[in-house]
Amino acid sequence: MRLTFNAQNRNSTAGLEGAATRLMEFQRQVSTGKRIEKPSDDPSATLGAIGEHTETAAIDQYARATDSVASRLAVIDTVLSDLIVQLERGQVAAASARGSTKTQAQRDAAATDLEGIRDTLFSDMNTAFNGTFVFSGSASTVQPYTRVGSGPISAYAGSTSEMVVDIDQHREIKIAFNGQLVTQGADAQDVFAEFDDLIAAVRAGDDAGIEAGMSALERMFDRVSTAQGRVGADQRTIDEQKVRLSEMRRASVKRLSALEDTNMAQAITGMAQADAAYKAALGAVSSVTRMSLMDYLR
């Protein structure tokens, strides 16, 4: 069978183009470090890579939520610590006014201290983080306690339902508390009303009223300590979750790299082989194009 010049030229050109394409592909992999540029490069690996990208994005979202929750819990823990300090100060101030030997000036001084402590508790319970109140429950944009001037402090205005944030598919952390559970609990009135009664009892030298007020402060102390214990447990969970998410992300990135990234040793070897094949094809085409008509007539 006679091989025509056109057919031989087409075959040589096709071989040269194939060798050039293969060489360019290996050069791209070596220069970019990526094995997959488009889905058709490896459909199966592309499908796996899409799944890993989705997984990594979810992990990153949980990591951001975890960082935000950690910052919020740190603020709440600081506030609860200050509440405990203020309640201890209140106990000391109230105790200093007990007894018939106390002068009116001493009782008035203790009452003034108690007023300052009450106002500090009021400020603590209205603590906000990033524009939302941490003790208003799910009504986080509503200030939990208000007052007009130096008048009485209002009743709780927040929500009794609390707010949680997911830090994983199966884990959630409380980030907005029902302040009424802290200031009142099962008592008949909240701690601010108890302070008002205690201050009045201190000024009047009413030891029974002082004892009742101190008992109310002690009950709130217990409620705050319980809340702080729960916050501490959540902070430990957050720390553990950060480590876990970091490990999960590293594992996902490693799997993604195995699917998408170039094996440099293989790519360089392949590039060298493709370069040799391209040069050989180029030489073959050159030989064909140098043949004369007499070469085909022989």
Residue pLDDT tens, the chain, 298 long:
455 555 555 665 666 666 666 656 556 656 666 766 666 666 877 777 788 778 888 888 888 888 889 999 999 999 999 999 999 999 999 999 999 899 999 999 999 999 999 999 999 999 999 999 999 999 999 999 999 888 899 999 999 999 988 888 778 889 899 999 999 999 999 999 999 999 999 999 999 999 999 999 999 999 999 999 999 999 999 988 888 888 888 888 888 777 766 755 665 676 677 666 666 666 666 665 555 555 555 5
- Main-chain phi, psi angles of 98, to 5 degrees: -80, 155
pTM: 0.71
DSSP-assigned letter for residue 174: E
Query: How many whole angstroms separate alpha carbon 181 and alpha carbon 160?
Result: 8
Q: Are 269 and 29 in contact (CB under 8 A)?
A: no
- Number of neighbouring beta carbons within 10 Å of residue 89: 16
- CA-to-CA dists, residue 187 to 21, 123, 216, angstroms: 81, 21, 8
Query: How many whole angstroms separate alpha carbon 86 and alpha carbon 276?
Result: 82
34: left (phi over 0), alpha (psi -120 to 50) or beta: beta
